[in-house]
Amino acid sequence: MSFSAELRKEANPIFHAIFEHPFVQGIANGELKKEQLIHYVKQDFEYLSSFIRIYGIAVSKCENREDMDMFNQQISFILKSEIHPHNNFCQVAGVPYEVLQGYPLSPSSHHYIRHMLTVAHEGTLGEILAVLLPCPWTYWEIGKRILNEVNPDRSHPFYDWINFYGNRTDSITTKFCDRIDEWAKEATEREKEKMKEHFLISCQLEYMFWDMAYKLEEWPVKMEVVK
Ligand SMILES: Cc1ncc(C[n+]2csc(CCO)c2C)c(N)n1
C-alpha cells in the first residue's frame, strides 16, 4: 500500500465524520442558515490567506523548480479561483464578499492555522505536504460524494460550490499524494510517523472548522476589535 493510501485508511473515521457533519449535510441538502454561511466565509477568507503564506514557506524549503512550480500554481489557484465557492455562499446569504473580509480568527480556525504554521516552520517538505493534504483531499471527496448522492441541478443553491470541488480531474490531491509517496520512499520511520500525525491532526481540524462554522463558534469572552 502506498504511503498516501495508508494515510487515507487511518483517517477514514475522520473523513466519515466530516461527510456526516451537519454543515456538510447542509451543503448537500441546501439547508444552511445565513449566519452559518457568513461565519464560514469570514473564517475561510482568513484561512486561505494563511494557506497562501504557508505555501510561501513551503517554497522557501523546495530544492527543485518542479516543487516550486507545484506550490506556485496552488498560490495562483487560491488567489484567482477559490473566490468562486465563497461567492456562491455570499450570494445565498445575500451579502457582498467584501464585507466579510478582515475578521479575527475564531478558536478552531486559529488552532488549525497555527498547527500548519508550526509544521511549515519546523518541518521538512514531506511534513509540510502531510499537514496541508487534508485541505484539498477532504473537499474533493465531499464534492464528489455530493455529486454522486444528490446529483444537484442548477436550481440547487450550492450547485457552484459542489461542482467547483467535486468536478476536478487534474486534482491537486493527486499531485500532493504522488509527491508525498515519492518523499516517503526516502524518509525515515520517525519522519513518516510525524507526517502521519500532522496529517491526522489536520483531518481533525478540518472537522472542527465545519463545526466552528455550524455553531458560530466565538472566543469565550467577547473582545472589542482594536482598530
Ligand atoms: C478550512 C478549509 N479547508 C479546505 C478548503 C479547500 N481548499 C482550500 S485551499 C485549497 C487548494 C489547495 O491548494 C483547497 C482545496 C477550504 N477552502 N477551507
- Which range is least confidently modeled, 18-22, 167-171, 197-201? 167-171
Which atom from ligand 1 is nearest to the alpha carbon of 165? 15
Q: Which three cell numbers stand for residue 195?
A: 507526517
Ligand 1 atom at minimal distance to the Cα of residue 44 = 18
Pair 8, 198: CB distance under 8 Å: no
Q: How far apart are CA 52 and CA 79, in angstroms?
A: 8
pTM assigned to the model:
0.96
Ligand 1 atom nearest the C-alpha of 135 is 4
pLDDT digits (tens, 9 = 90+) for 205-227: 999 999 999 999 999 998 776 65
Average pLDDT over residues 151-165: 95
Residue bearing the CA closest to ligand 1, atom 11: 136
Rounded to an integer, the average pLDDT of 74-95 is 96
Domain spans, the chain: 3-214
What CATH number labels 3-214? Answer: 1.20.910.10
ipTM rounded to 2 decimals:
0.97
Distance of CA 135 from the midpoint of ligand 1 (Å) = 5
Closest residue CA from atom 18 of ligand 1: 44
Q: What is the mean pLDDT of the chain?
A: 96
Mutate which of 18, 51, 142 for ligand 1? The one with the most ligand atoms within 8 Å of its CB, which is: 51
What pLDDT score does 171 carry?
80
Mean pLDDT of 142-159: 95
Q: Which atom of ligand 1 is nearest to the CA of 43?
A: 1
Residues with CB under 6 A from ligand 1: 44, 47-48, 51, 74, 77-78, 82, 135-136, 139, 172, 206, 209
pLDDT of residue 168: 74
Contacts 24+ apart (CB under 8 A), 217-224: 217/39, 217/106, 217/107, 217/108, 218/106, 218/107, 219/106, 219/107, 223/104
- Quick one: pLDDT at residue 225? 64
Nearest CA to ligand 1 atom 3: 135
| Confidence band, pLDDT 50/70/90 cuts, at residue 23 | very high
Is pLDDT at 169 greater than 80 in this prediction?
no
Tens digits of residue pLDDT in 106-149: 999 999 999 999 999 999 999 999 999 999 999 999 999 999 99
Instruction: Dump the DSSP string for 160-176.
Output: HHHHHHHS-SS-HHHHH
Query: What DSSP state is assigned to residue 94?
Result: T
